[in-house]
């Protein structure tokens, strides 16, 4: 796990583009985040790790997944986040009308494609997260509280990182 809070720097970019690592791209729904991601995607679009046709085994874009950080757990806020993410990603997806790129079938996503890299894992907004004390067993928060904020993220991330493991209770 690599935490590159200030953005994708040289160590992080090597891990993302060369090591086949899963990369979670955290963002709040604000203009500066989307501007920065558009810059990143414009730069990465020319990378050798991006393959027209988005082959799952060979294309960097399948190893990237957005995370909607600090998002209010209401449908309207989630829809706005997804729309902004989709707008940032459209330049990074295959162009259906691309010419001179050989024989490839573009992978085309719509805004609500759950499997698409732009479609996020959600982490709910809660002001109480700022005051959590996680390094003292006597002050640790109740799991129901933590789960209410992070459960969607935990479940979908587990499915992404360990796709061959079936969830408990499913037989």
Tell me, yes or no, whether 47 lies in a domain.
Answer: yes
Crossing angle of helices 31-44 and 75-89, rounded to 10°:
30
Instruction: Report the alpha-carbon distance of residue 166 to residue 171 in Å, rounded.
Output: 8
Tell me, yes or no, whether 60 lies in a domain.
Answer: yes
| pLDDT the model gives residue 46 | 84
Strands (DSSP E) along the chain, which ranges?
Answer: 23-27, 64-71, 121-124
Tell me, yes or no, whether 31 lies in a domain.
Answer: yes
Task: Write out the residue range of the structural domain in which residue 120 sits.
Answer: 10-161
| pLDDT the model gives residue 96 | 62
* Number of domains forming the structure of the chain: 1
What does each of the 171 residues of the chain score in pLDDT, given as a tens digit? 555 555 555 555 666 666 677 888 999 999 999 998 998 888 888 888 888 788 777 888 998 999 999 999 999 999 999 999 999 999 898 876 555 556 667 788 999 999 999 999 999 999 988 888 889 999 989 999 999 999 999 999 998 888 876 656 554
Tell me, yes or no, whether 91 lies in a domain.
Answer: yes
Tell me, yes or no, whether 166 lies in a domain.
Answer: no
| pLDDT the model gives residue 171 | 46
| Cβ within 8 Å of residue 26, ≥6 positions away | 67, 69
Q: Is the pTM of the predicted complex or chain greater than 0.85? A: no
Tell me, yes or no, whether 93 lies in a domain.
Answer: yes
Tell me, yes or no, whether 2 lies in a domain.
Answer: no
């Amino acid at each position: 796990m690599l935490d590159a809070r200030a953005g994708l720097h040289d160590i992080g970019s090597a891990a993302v583009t060369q090591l086949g690592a899963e990369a979670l791209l955290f963002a709040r729904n604000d203009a500066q985040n989307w501007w920065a991601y558009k810059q990143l995607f414009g730069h990465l679009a020319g990378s050798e790790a991006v393959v027209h046709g988005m082959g799952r085994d060979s294309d960097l874009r399948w190893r990237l997944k957005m995370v909607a950080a600090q998002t209010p757990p209401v449908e309207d806020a989630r829809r706005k986040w997804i729309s902004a993410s989709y707008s940032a990603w459209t330049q990074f997806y295959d162009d259906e009308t691309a010419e001179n790129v050989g024989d490839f079938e573009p992978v085309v996503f719509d805004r609500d494609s759950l499997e698409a890299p732009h479609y996020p894992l959600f982490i709910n907004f809660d002001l109480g997260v700022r005051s959590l004390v996680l390094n003292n067993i006597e002050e640790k928060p109740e799991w129901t509280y933590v789960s209410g904020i992070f459960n969607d993220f935990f479940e979908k991330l587990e499915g992404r990182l360990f796709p061959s493991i079936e969830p408990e209770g499913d037989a």
